[in-house]
Amino acid sequence: MVSSGSWYTPVSCVASAGSIASATAIGMDTFCGGQISIPNGSSITSLTFYVSDQQDGTYQALYDASNVAVTMTVAADRAYVLPVAVNSAISVKIVANAAGTINFVGKTL
């Protein structure tokens, strides 16, 4: 994991398999985008994004302007830009199809 800089903040996240409650809440209020990386050897292949208006609030599946659920197909040992639809979120949880962790680096406002 990289150390914090003046324009980015790393966060190690739990992307619990199918469990919104166990996933790490990421406060997006200080970020304007970011990236996600999947560790080497991970069995995670898909991510689904959930949002709330507060970190300890109720999370709902995120849909884009075309009413399509915001998901990503991913692979181990790769990095991805955070979907644009997530940028407007106050708090986001990322739920994976398998247990594991992901790394999130937010681009600081």
Residue 99's φ and ψ, nearest 5 degrees, are -65, 145
- Which tens digits make up the pLDDT trace of 51-88? 999 989 999 999 999 999 999 999 999 999 999 999 88
Locate the domains of the chain by residue range.
9-108
- CATH assignment, 9-108: 2.60.120
Residue 79 CB coordination number (10 Å): 11
7-57: per-residue pLDDT in tens? Answer: 556 666 666 677 898 888 888 887 888 899 999 999 999 999 999 999 899
pTM of the model: 0.85
Whether the Cβ atoms of residue 59 and residue 28 lie closer than 8 Å to each other: no
CB atoms near residue 89 (< 10 Å): 21
pLDDT, position 3: 45
Type of residue found at 100:
G
Q: Is the pLDDT of residue 105 over 90?
A: no
Say which residue the tokens 């692979």 belong to. 75
Pairing label, strands 46-52, 25-27 = unpaired
